[in-house]
Amino acid sequence: MVLYVVGLGLSSEKDITVRGLEAVKSCERVYLEAYTSILMVDTEKLSEFYGKEVVVADREMVESESDKILDGAQEKNVAFLVVGDPFGATTHTDLVIRAHELSIKVEIIHNASIMNAIGACGLQLYNFGQTVSMVFFTPTWRPDSFYDRIKENRDIGLHTLVLLDIKVKEQSFENMARGRKIYEPPRYMTVAQCAEQMLEIEELRGEGVYTPNTIAIGVSRIGSHDQRIVTGTLQELSEADLGPPLHSLVLLGSRVHELEVDYIRAFALNKETFEQVVALEHNKKAS
């Protein structure tokens, strides 16, 4: 019997592959990982389309109670569904390792993820460097390790994909300390919040890795019928509203190709500002 780790794609219940759907229909139990990303339909709709009850697996179950998911997988097929591609988060690697330790056969069924679908913004995928994550800042915690990774990318001219934080089934420090199973409402970082935090760290670090006038691309709901793609300066994006989640941001590298510029020009929030910044960057390279 098999543990199927199935990528669901980015948007609707119909984004699952034919192979993935066949695997799900063969399973005794079906789990949906529901904290590293979200699908844009509810669980009931998935259950109806797959013809199987879908059990939501939160962070606690996946990271601390994986035996519940793997229980009986030596005798019956079990599916673990992942929004995007199965290996978009290291947690899923841990589950596969655990299955191998228990001599459970594992089959991975891939799908589209933000890591390749970001090509929809017009930038060439092989011009991307390290992907970084942006977490929600708190009054006492404002991590800036992302800044160093962006600097490394920009030093060699590469674009940076920034994945934005989501908070699902999170506890406040007080409730956690008191052992109360009370959870905060879900929160999803926006492009505007990400750009604002990036500008704050640039002001603190002052190393000129990027500026308020650096061109970036904000995307939301990539892969859906109402996806949005906008190009602007970080300052412009810090004030932009891209609607409901999920959002991501791309910071342009210095080696941006002319064809890439031509493509992203169509998404400019302010055409005049865009042309001014592009001309300025062109003059810098020429001098």
Annotated binding-site positions for S-adenosyl-L-methionine = 10, 85, 88, 113-114, 164, 247
Read off the DSSP letter of residue 268: B
Task: Report how far residue 59's alpha carbon sits from residue 57's, in angstroms, rounded to the nearest whole number.
Answer: 7
Annotated binding site: 10, 85, 88, 113-114, 164, 247
Q: Which helix (H) or strand (E) holds 6?
A: strand 2-7
Sheet holding 228-233, edge to edge: 132-134, 160-164, 247-251, 215-220, 228-233
Integer angstrom CA distances of residue 193 from 10, 84, 183, 196, 216 = 22, 23, 22, 5, 14
Task: Report how far residue 228's alpha carbon sits from residue 272's, in angstroms, rounded to the nearest whole number.
Answer: 20
Scanning 26-113, the segments in alpha helix (DSSP H) are 43-50, 59-64, 66-70, 90-101
